[in-house]
Amino acid sequence: MSDTIEETAGHRLLEEVLTRYDSIDAFCTHLHLALDAPTDVLPALPISTAGRHRLR
């Protein structure tokens, strides 16, 4: 019975991917481009001169 549920969820996912991207290759290309996009670089926090974890 659990195989049927997993197959149904898998089929729904496949149907949604094919509806949005027309092919598995187009979906994979979209994922690849999304993962390879540059990320934002956050500025470093200034070093604290006070507090418990300050440098000695």
DSSP of 3-41: HHHHHHHHHHHHHHHHHHHSSHHHHHHHHHHHHHSPPPP
* Residue 56 pLDDT greater than 60, yes or no: no
* Residue 11 pLDDT greater than 70, yes or no: yes
What is the predicted pLDDT for the residue at 55? Answer: 58
- Average pLDDT score over the chain: 80
What is the predicted pLDDT for the residue at 5? Answer: 67
pTM of the model: 0.51
What is the predicted pLDDT for the residue at 7? Answer: 73
